[in-house]
Amino acid sequence: MGTDRELPREIIDYYERGRERDRLSSGAGLLEFLRTQQILRRALPAPPAKLLDVGGASGVHAVWLAREGYDVHLLDPVPLHVEQARNAAAAQPEHSFTADVADARRLPVADASVDVALLLGPLYHLVERDERLATLAEARRVLRPGGLLAAAAIGRFGDWLYGLHAELLDDRDFQEMAIKSTQTGQHRSVEGHWFTTAYYHRPEELNEECRDAGFDVAQVVAVEGVGPLLPDLDDRLADERRRRQLLDALAFTESEESMLGVTSHLLALARKAEEKE
């Protein structure tokens, strides 16, 4: 299922620039973080459940999950991310977690040994379906019966949404890139600009891939919804009352089918299905 292939060098190089550590600290990134946190908090089992954070980058989610009492082990293919995650763990010794370099398609984890598998990034960069299924199958393998999968994907119209927000739609190269990613799901950067090699899912496609990998899908939800298009997003997030209003509104509409097409990120929540005899 494609598990012998390494991630393309351009993906590793992109993340070795070190931008991921601070990406979720402001603007649309902060909204993505807060909404992901909101969704996970209502879905996760009670601590101290054992949680595998696959593709956990610099540990932005591992940090708060460990603080809340979860037994967290982070895996990521980018050495810089693992170094940053280990530093973050060392900075909170009373709520530490572990981190190692690993590929999501080949997890160095025992069968049926974790309660939760987070895939909050690996599906972004596997452009072939067989590789995404291999990743989901690995998550299923390491989960205990009934274990929770939380798998994130970039929405199919991610380039158009970003282009509107960043005023890039006058750029012909950007337009052509956005058209191709919408038609094929495969995003390719142009001369190193505008992200890196990625795959953009349709909601029904993410649902289908999780089911084909042996999961019972509870729901696929919109993470940010229309939030990133708000012109005063930073001001809203800085004000506690308005931030809560925004998060509540996005939570209320997250499962609405029409909203799933206008979100930058999708999140599938699923359970490891029982083996069929």
Q: Which domains does the chain have, with CATH numbers?
A: 9-271 (3.40.50.150)
Mean per-residue pLDDT, 146-175? 95
Percent of the chain with pLDDT over 90: 90
How many CA atoms are closer than 13 Å to the CA of 87, on its beta-carbon side? 9
Query: pLDDT-based confidence at 274, cuts 50/70/90?
Result: confident
Instruction: Classify 2 in phi/psi space as left (phi over 0), alpha (psi -120 to 50) or beta.
Output: left
Which position has the higher pLDDT, 3 or 16? 16
Residue 11 has pLDDT above 70, yes or no: yes
* Strand ranges inside 6-129, DSSP E: 50-54, 71-76, 98-101, 114-119
Which sign does the torsion angle of CA 234, 240, 245, 248 carry? positive
b/e map 16-30, b = 16+ CB within 10 Å: eeeebbebbeeebbb
To the nearest whole number, what is the mean pLDDT of the chain? 94
Q: Does the pLDDT at position 38 exceed 80? A: yes
Looking at residue 21, what is its pLDDT?
A: 87
**Sorting pLDDT into bands at 50, 70 and 90, what band is 3?**
very low
pLDDT band with cut points at 50, 70 and 90 for residue 276: low
pTM of the model: 0.94
Query: What would the pLDDT profile of 218-258 be if each residue is shown by its tens digit?
Result: 999 999 999 999 999 999 999 999 999 999 999 999 999 98
Query: Residue 59 has what pLDDT?
Result: 97
* pLDDT reading at 277 higher than 50: no
